[in-house]
Amino acid sequence: MAEKGKVGGKMKPIGIKGIIVALGLAVLQLFPSCFATIDARSKWMDANGILQVEYNGTVLTDLRYGEGEREVYDLYLPEDTTDPKATHLILFIHGGSWQSGSKNDGELWCRNIASKGYTAATISYTLKTDTTDTNIMLVNSQVRAAVGAIKARCAEADIGINLVDMATHGFSAGACQAMMYGFDVADADPALPVKFILQQSGPSTFEPSIWRNGELHKLMLKSTGLNGSYKADAAWISQFSGEEVTEEMVKDGSAEAYWKKVSPYTYITDDSVPILFAYGVLDGIVPPASRLVLEQALKEHNVTNVGLVYEKSGHMLICDPDKQRLFIEYMDKFCAKYFLGEDIEI
């Protein structure tokens, strides 16, 4: 068992320019409201330190769940692997607009979770680069492969944990994937059922009209390419679905099935698992309507949920430390109720 160290379908290219735009927007999201206050720096430090805990468990790095270059994961084991809590897994999926990020982004979350006795893991997945394509359904299949590999590795004699269930957790693009896997029960691994979903700043829909509105930052609006034309809508839907969607398909309405296939809210049913989610009011990267679409679907199907709104934060959710603490408190309650069966009110 190695200690943790520093580790370094089709999605049409947004390209390097798109990555720069996304990263630039992430930085811009740090400044609204919160950074105009005199105690902004202390709030920023506070928000980033909230997850810091003492963790003495074992971390296994760069384990493989497939043959692809990025089909790897890190496994965070609780200090006491014989504790019944250890049989419950929380899988973190990183963000980065499907073009950046890695499993390392989930380190603080995984350390926090494993310090409480649960098993945690964080994965990398295929990104859009100059030489590779990706799409939401491909990543969903990689999540499933990772779940199977994690369950098998934990069952080996040197670890000896028989995982019985799990939760998905993610940020931004990873939050979208966490919802896709958690709600799309037909594609999930029945051997390790999802008991609940945790997600922050995740797109719940890829309906083009929602993404070409004035609520997004103007740089983000430009980077989407959504100018209202059939051609632009077709390119947008193709990008995320991995399918070749044409202008004619947009015109005759058949393209709708393709963006719905990669929109997590469309998988919500009366039997869907509970979800804890968070969005920033000042988010200029994911449309605020994404939260409304998710809330409406959850309400229609009477799905148990807790939604936190970060009034001072943008996409990165760092300007409302009290809300971030509350998110972690609810995460602990979800674990107690849906993993351990404790009779507590959510």
Side-chain-facing half-sphere of 277: CA atoms under 13 Å: 29
Task: Classify domain 15-205+263-339 by CATH number.
Answer: 3.40.50.1820
Would you write out the chain's pLDDT as a tens digit for each of its 346 residues?
444 433 334 444 444 445 444 545 554 444 444 544 445 556 656 766 899 999 999 999 999 999 999 999 999 999 999 999 999 999 999 999 999 999 999 999 999 999 999 999 999 999 999 889 999 999 999 999 999 999 999 999 999 999 999 999 999 999 999 999 999 988 888 889 999 999 999 999 999 999 998 678 888 888 899 999 999 999 999 999 999 999 999 999 999 999 999 999 999 999 999 999 999 999 999 999 999 999 999 999 999 999 999 999 999 999 999 999 999 999 999 999 999 999 999 9
DSSP summary character for residue 38? T
- Residue 233 near residue 250 (C-beta atoms within 8 A): yes
Interatomic CA distance for residues 105 and 111, integer angstroms? 11
Q: Which residue's entry shows tokens 């720069």?
A: 20
Q: What pLDDT score was predicted for residue 231?
A: 97
Contact in structure between 327 and 200 (CB atoms under 8 Å): yes
**For residue 4, what pLDDT is reported?**
40
pLDDT value for 34: 55
CB-CB contact of 110 with 74 (8 Å): yes
Contact 344, 336 (CB under 8 A): yes
CA dihedral 301, 262, 166, 1 (to 10 degrees): -170
Q: Give yes or no for a contact between 261 and 241, defined as CB atoms under 8 angstroms apart.
A: yes
Residue type, 65: Y
Q: State both tokens at 340.
A: 């351990």
61 to 55, 56, 333: CA distances (angstroms):
16, 15, 28
Please choose, from the candidates 254, 241, 252, 279, the residue with its C-alpha nearest in 3D space to the C-alpha of residue 139.
Answer: 241
Q: Which residues of 214-236 are buried (b: 16+ CB within 10 A; e: fewer)?
A: eebbeebbebbbbeeeeebbbbb
Provide the total of helices (H) and of strands (E) in the chain, helices listed first: 12, 8
Beta bridge partners of 59: 76
Amino acid at 289: A
Residues contacting 86, CB < 8 A, separation 6+: 77, 78, 80, 117, 118, 119, 161
pLDDT value of position 216: 84
Q: What was the pLDDT predicted at 18? A: 53
Dihedral (Cα; 95, 99, 131, 63), 10-degree rounding:
-20
Which CA distances in Å does 345 have to 67, 283, 309, 329, 333?
Answer: 43, 30, 20, 13, 8
What is the separation, in whole angstroms, between the first and last Cα of the chain? 37
C-alpha span between 232 and 135 (Å, rounded): 17
